[in-house]
Chain A
């Protein structure tokens, strides 16, 4: 065993560096104990406790290198190791990652104050994040579904006190300040303001008005439950107030299922007190469809109602009896059922189909599986589909849908909800679907009626 104690007058490193160096030194080959330290009285005691004898006269300005080795010939390498460790300890560390990403909505708003917030975390956690937004004075769109209604009410009451807007929960679509949030079509600004309790209903309206050359200043989603009795239209009021205050908005249209009876009168009364006229596009049995609602908007603005475009041409069916509607848009599925009266209409965006997987506007897998089964079913007479384009949606839906319908033995009618400015290139999508044999409409009501007309007359589907 060899002990080496060396005093280096005038050398200095701070105590923390030296603790680090000592630790490194103790791990060197042949070293059983090591202490590299300034010779302060405390450290001299420590060294004495370890059995090292520090030469008299060493003081706090002297560096002591004390090593115990199990063999003498290890000393030169060990001293070189100590020198290396001292050198490394004094070298600046390589630049590491010092930026810290925000971990809560509050943290993000601390960095970007005043920003609106889009929340799409799983439902049980959405309220907490949305509350951060309201606490920081920001509007919030809650894309998440599965948020309990009592939490929605609580959030919207807080928002109402602070004149903030809660869009959602389960709000899929909004256009704010010219920016599409969630699933939204690219539209030009214009005289219409939309308040929507329905995502795809709103998108159909955007696409039809765009085709008619009428822009939209803002489309504010409020969530499907906003006009129910428990929520009482809390967000609808704030949305109406915002649009009323926007000088660019000449006409407000409210797209929703019919409100609960007690809410309807209150909202109508609220709307009547606004400066800007409010039209109600309330969807449901016995009520005008979305296309009719869009036409009403155009007439109120004094704009001409165009012919809604149709591309391709399906031929009447030669087999089967049933109309099969497979949808990504819930409002569109509902509208088809309302117009057709009978048939199979499935909304693949419904909670039952999205548990644990992305919305079918993003992930088409489930609908494509069911489409293949429907086409193979000899009882299927006509297939009705929707393709919803816009921000947030699949980049190229026709890429997988067109091959799936090519060679179908039955007519396939598709509504493509989109605008030329949408990121997917609407015209190319339409062309691909037409090339695969589909008949493509912009108006979903038109598409549904066309699908009905293609059914064999003997099935006697309602009109």
Chain B
């Protein structure tokens, strides 16, 4: 028979007294919450909607499967018109945009034929009369790093078969000097043109072919498998990419409407780009998280995103409001001669993977990534376990074999972040600070701590106004 158990939160002396009577005591390593949050934490804890709302949010995000149903230009699937640019992260204007975002926008303007020389794009964006910027997240889209999407870029289209909801993401360009890292040289633009002219149409034919044959690419299932093959689906997408290639290659070859040299180029490009699958993992995560949006009373984070200047989160129970703070600079390793001074603050919508429980949260399944900050395998195991302290639950589908197949921690709970001071750990690439440089390294980063108390305050304000106590004295 098991010994009786007890949980003790607080004084060790009382826990000792119970343990002395033969009970197994689980001790909470309690510490005071973030400054100024105690009152709001009580308000939210006592919000009568919270528990059911969070259960619904978790169930919603875990219930979604994502299938790849199409590949098409953004102008078609997002209705993006001339001069409309999407970008990663919360809303931002050109004057506050960082180097890599500016570089990507400048390259995008050339790609769209708005200017011939990237340098001329600066005046275009400064005047702002014929161009507009909007977050990817506001258009059912996620974009890695700068996340710039222009009307002519080809997009993956993912669908939740149960509801028909869709999300989108551009095609991954590879590593190094690429537009999403802010590079816009001729080689970068040539590659993007080839992706639009050759790769996109080839993928569309293949994706539609397997879809129409009744066997569409099940992105969620590939994620399930790749997480058991050393990928965490943010900084490591090697197995996922190869599985995608396995599923799509026959249809790409079989389409027969393209010269075989084009097909070979496309296969070589996808197979040689370990990050190709990232641009499917991200919209799959967004598709799951969008299902948990707008649940009154829920404290679950439904998006974490950075625009290179601000880090923002959105929370289920507070609608479309962004809670933002300064984006931090990742700690990690650098390419070539680059060093910390060359790195731009954190950028990209790719933290959607951590929001959904993979990436940094699945570090235990991808121990190689932990070396980015000089860590160890035990660090990787501890990271995944630590993230479970700030989530509503775990994903039974996405599991970590080395942790006895524990599900990845899922559903970041704003209240738990404020209570524990544990910040979500994000695996990320680092873009050069200067427009045009491209990637300078990769590493680990966390959100600015203050955005979680800000989100908590908004949740508490809504709870108070719902309970009719909105006219009460202000809380600290």
Interface residues in chain A, defined as those with a beta carbon under 8 Å from any beta carbon in chain B: 14, 16-17, 19-20, 22-23, 33, 35, 42, 45-47, 49-50, 89, 92-112, 114-122, 124-125, 127-129, 131, 133, 135, 138, 143-144, 151, 154-155, 158, 177, 179-182, 358, 362, 391-392, 423
Closest to A47 in B: B336
**Are A128's CB and B388's CB within 8 A?**
no
15 contacts between A and B (CB under 8 A): A19-B372, A42-B175, A46-B335, A46-B336, A100-B388, A101-B29, A103-B419, A104-B420, A112-B26, A118-B8, A129-B30, A143-B11, A179-B23, A391-B17, A423-B20
Within the complex, the shortest CB–CB distance from B82 to chain A, in Å, comes to 34
**Are B388's CB and A103's CB within 8 A?**
no
Interface residues in chain B, defined as those with a beta carbon under 8 Å from any beta carbon in chain A: 4-11, 13-15, 17-18, 20-21, 23-24, 26-33, 38-39, 41-42, 45-46, 51, 175-176, 333-337, 368-369, 371-372, 374, 376-379, 381-382, 385-386, 388-389, 415-416, 419-420, 422, 441
Chain B residues lying within 8 Å of A107, measured Cβ to Cβ, are: 28, 388-389
Chain B residues lying within 8 Å of A35, measured Cβ to Cβ, are: 336
Within the complex, the shortest CB–CB distance from A326 to chain B, in Å, comes to 23
Question: Contacts A106-B416, A124-B42 given; 20 further ones with Cβ under 8 A?
Answer: A20-B333, A23-B333, A33-B337, A47-B336, A49-B337, A50-B337, A93-B377, A104-B28, A104-B419, A108-B28, A112-B26, A118-B6, A120-B11, A124-B38, A125-B33, A128-B415, A128-B419, A179-B4, A391-B18, A391-B21
**Are B7's CB and A127's CB within 8 A?**
no
| A17 CA to B18 CA, complexed, in Å | 47
**Are A125's CB and B28's CB within 8 A?**
no
Closest to A124 in B: B38
| A130 CA to B196 CA, complexed, in Å | 57
**Are A180's CB and B388's CB within 8 A?**
no
Within the complex, the shortest CB–CB distance from B361 to chain A, in Å, comes to 13
Closest to B23 in A: A179
B18 partner, pick from A97, A118, A135, beta carbons under 8 A: A118
Within the complex, the shortest CB–CB distance from A47 to chain B, in Å, comes to 8
Given contacts A35-B336, A118-B15, contact A105 B9 (CB under 8 A): yes
Chain B residues lying within 8 Å of A133, measured Cβ to Cβ, are: 7
Q: Is the interface of A mostly helix, strand, loop or mixed?
A: mixed
**Are B10's CB and A120's CB within 8 A?**
yes
Within the complex, the shortest CB–CB distance from B29 to chain A, in Å, comes to 4
Chain B residues lying within 8 Å of A19, measured Cβ to Cβ, are: 333-335, 371-372, 441
**Are B14's CB and A110's CB within 8 A?**
no
| A91 CA to B41 CA, complexed, in Å | 45
| A431 CA to B313 CA, complexed, in Å | 65
| A101 CA to B28 CA, complexed, in Å | 7
Within the complex, the shortest CB–CB distance from B109 to chain A, in Å, comes to 26
Chain B residues lying within 8 Å of A103, measured Cβ to Cβ, are: 28-31, 389, 419-420, 422
**Are B14's CB and A108's CB within 8 A?**
no
| A338 CA to B28 CA, complexed, in Å | 41
Within the complex, the shortest CB–CB distance from A422 to chain B, in Å, comes to 11
**Are A112's CB and B7's CB within 8 A?**
yes
**Are A114's CB and B5's CB within 8 A?**
yes
Chain B residues lying within 8 Å of A22, measured Cβ to Cβ, are: 333
Closest to B8 in A: A118
Closest to A144 in B: B10
**Are B371's CB and A17's CB within 8 A?**
yes
| A300 CA to B369 CA, complexed, in Å | 71
| A105 CA to B33 CA, complexed, in Å | 13
Q: Which of A92, A97, A121, A158 has the most CB of B within 10 A?
A: A121
B46 partner, pick from A101, A154, A391, beta carbons under 8 A: A154
**Are B14's CB and A392's CB within 8 A?**
yes
Chain A residues lying within 8 Å of B381, measured Cβ to Cβ, are: 98
Chain B residues lying within 8 Å of A122, measured Cβ to Cβ, are: 32
Q: Which of A94, A104, A129 has the most CB of B within 10 A?
A: A104
Closest to B370 in A: A16
Chain A residues lying within 8 Å of B388, measured Cβ to Cβ, are: 100, 107, 110
Q: Which of B335, B368, B382, B388 has the most CB of A within 10 A?
A: B335
Closest to A48 in B: B336
A115 partner, pick from B5, B31, B45, beta carbons under 8 A: B5
A121 partner, pick from B7, B9, B27, B333, beta carbons under 8 A: B9
**Are A128's CB and B18's CB within 8 A?**
no
**Are A117's CB and B24's CB within 8 A?**
no
| A116 CA to B18 CA, complexed, in Å | 12
Within the complex, the shortest CB–CB distance from B180 to chain A, in Å, comes to 15
**Are A143's CB and B382's CB within 8 A?**
no
Closest to B374 in A: A20
**Are A16's CB and B333's CB within 8 A?**
yes
| A42 CA to B11 CA, complexed, in Å | 56
**Are A121's CB and B42's CB within 8 A?**
no
**Are A93's CB and B378's CB within 8 A?**
yes
Chain A residues lying within 8 Å of B378, measured Cβ to Cβ, are: 93, 95-98
| A100 CA to B363 CA, complexed, in Å | 14
Chain A residues lying within 8 Å of B441, measured Cβ to Cβ, are: 19
B372 partner, pick from A16, A138, A358, beta carbons under 8 A: A16
Chain A residues lying within 8 Å of B33, measured Cβ to Cβ, are: 125, 128
Given contacts A118-B18, A179-B23, A392-B14, contact A128 B7 (CB under 8 A): no
Given contacts A49-B336, A50-B336, contact A108 B371 (CB under 8 A): no
Within the complex, the shortest CB–CB distance from B229 to chain A, in Å, comes to 14
Chain A residues lying within 8 Å of B28, measured Cβ to Cβ, are: 101-105, 107-108, 129
**Are A108's CB and B13's CB within 8 A?**
no
**Are A99's CB and B17's CB within 8 A?**
no
Chain A residues lying within 8 Å of B369, measured Cβ to Cβ, are: 16
Chain B residues lying within 8 Å of A423, measured Cβ to Cβ, are: 20
**Are A120's CB and B7's CB within 8 A?**
no
Within the complex, the shortest CB–CB distance from A216 to chain B, in Å, comes to 15
**Are B382's CB and A100's CB within 8 A?**
yes
Within the complex, the shortest CB–CB distance from B470 to chain A, in Å, comes to 16
Within the complex, the shortest CB–CB distance from A253 to chain B, in Å, comes to 23
